[in-house]
Structure 1
Amino acid sequence: MADQEQTNKPEEEQVELEQANEAETAETQTAEQAEQVEVETAEDRLVALEKELAAAKATIAQQQDSVVRAAAEVDNIRRRAAMDVDKAHKFALEKFVNELLPVMDNMERALLMADRSQEALAPMIEGVEMTLKSFVDGVSKFGVEVIDPQGETFNPELHQAMSMQENAELAPNTVMAVMQKGYSLNGRLIRAAMVMVSKGA
């Protein structure tokens, strides 16, 4: 009986040892599985974070582009507004000057038609000349320039040809006569000079 108990004891120890080994193996496997799950979860998180980072960078790039475009647009608007204000200052008098041109034309016609041989008219002619001169000087202070192209080459941007005549003494396309002077305001043509142009025989 004692022998039988002794024989059972090593078998029980061996069973216990095997059970302990199995439990340890199971714990090891469980720990490895847990580590593997943690590694997979960390990789998934890393991939997700990289995607979020890429999306954030794309959003920042778009916003930077929008900010640059908006700044450029504001700069363009400011520049256009400054140009408009400058043009308004330069050409605000255009309508007013257009109203004055017939007055100057009439004074010039009066001087052309005046009979300078009569001494009684001399003071009046002198007064009209002085008035016309002061008139021209006054408007020139505001950027008005007279276009009187007598003897110059015809320029279609500044002159309007009313007729052409053959003239052997002048080169072709030369202004022979000015029927009406032209005017410009700060470099912009207000009225073209009406001219007679020479042509070859």
Structure 2
Amino acid sequence: MSASKENPDSQAKEPAVDTSEQLEVNADDASSEAAEAQEQLEAEKDWATLLSESEAKIAQYHEELLRARAEAENIRRRAQEDVAKARKFGTESFAESLIPVRDSLEAALALSDQTAEAWREGVEATLRQLNAAFERNLLREVAPAAGEKFDPHHHQAISAVPSDHPEGTVAQLLQKGYTIADRVLRPALVMVSSGQPG
């Protein structure tokens, strides 16, 4: 046989490569990729959990907002009803106090044979009833005496006149004023002193 025909087995074999190191590198790569995938999966779970918790909180806050808005609307509506009732029935107590006064006046007018003295006594009794009604409802008169200091919050000056009283004081009361619970219902009409006549 010729030398060119050699046994294929006899050909020089390539040296064997040690694959144990390569397997270790591949295993390390695979385990690091698996670890990264696991971390990414856990991160996605964390984000999903965080998102669902946030959505639950948003839903809770929205429900609380709607309840608070409804409660505020109910309070506003009740307040409007209370104001309307106060306007409608606010004078009820005062009206109840005035009914006996009216009854007395009607009774006085129903009697035809009365003396002047009887009329006077009836009017005085009726005035006492009216004063009691005013007191019960905090309605007080403003009647400054001559010489009292002029108070623009409770008095209304009609004119200034020379008088024996000091300047800026009440010279004369023309009409009583009234306050109700410290609020001026009608100011007293007065003439104010401009000082000594000169």
Amino acid at match of 1:193: A
Q: Is it true that 1:200 corresponds to 2:191 in the alignment?
A: no
What is the letter of the counterpart of residue 36 of structure 1? E
Contact 1:94 1:185 in 2 (8 A): no
**Which segments of 5 or more consecutive residues in structure 1 lack a partner in the other structure?**
1-6, 104-119
Tell me if 1:174 matches 2:169: yes
Larger helix percent: 1
Over the aligned positions, Cα root-mean-square deviation in angstroms equals 4.9
| Partners of 1:76 and 1:172 in 2: CA distance | 53
- The residue that corresponds to 2:179 in the other structure is 184
Q: CA deviation at 1:141?
A: 2.0
Aligned-pair identity in percent equals 20
State the match for 2:150 in structure 1: 154
**CA offsets 1:98-122 (integer angstroms, 9 cap, x no match):** x99xx9xxxxxxxxxxxxxxxx855
Task: Measure how far apart 1:187 and its partner are.
Answer: 2.6
CA contact (8 A) 2:93 2:137 kept: no
Among residues 131, 135, 138, which one is paired with 2:133 in the alignment? 138
Structure 2 gaps of 5+ residues are 1-8, 103-114
Q: Which residue of 2 aligns with 1:30?
A: 30
Q: Name the aligned partner's letter for residue 137 of structure 1.
A: A
Would the alpha carbon gap of residues 166 and 83 (structure 1) be closer, same or farther in structure 2, given more than 3 Å must change?
Answer: farther
Deviation (angstroms), 1:58: 8.3
After superposition, give the CA deviation of every residue in 1:119-150 in whole Å (9 maximum; x if it has no partner). x8555444433432332223322222122112
- Return 80-89 or 148-157, whichever deviates more: 80-89
1:166 is displaced (CA, Å) by 0.8
* Counterpart contact for 1:91–1:185, Cα < 8 Å: no
Q: Which amino acid aligns with 1:189?
A: V
How has the CA–CA distance of structure 1 residues 125 and 19 changed in structure 2, closer, same or farther, with 3 Å as cutoff?
closer
Aligned twin of 1:163: 159
TM-score (norm 2): 0.55
Deviates more, 1:126-135 or 1:62-71: 62-71
Write the distance in 2 (CA, Å) between the matches of 1:143 and 1:33: 89
Task: Please report how far the alpha carbon of residue 86 of structure 1 lies from its aligned counterpart in structure 2 after TM superposition.
Answer: 9.5
Conserved? CA contact 1:159–1:194, under 8 Å: yes
Distance between the aligned counterparts of 1:122 and 1:178, measured in 2?
29
Amino acid at match of 2:35: E
Q: How many aligned positions are there?
A: 170
- Aligned counterpart, 1:116: none
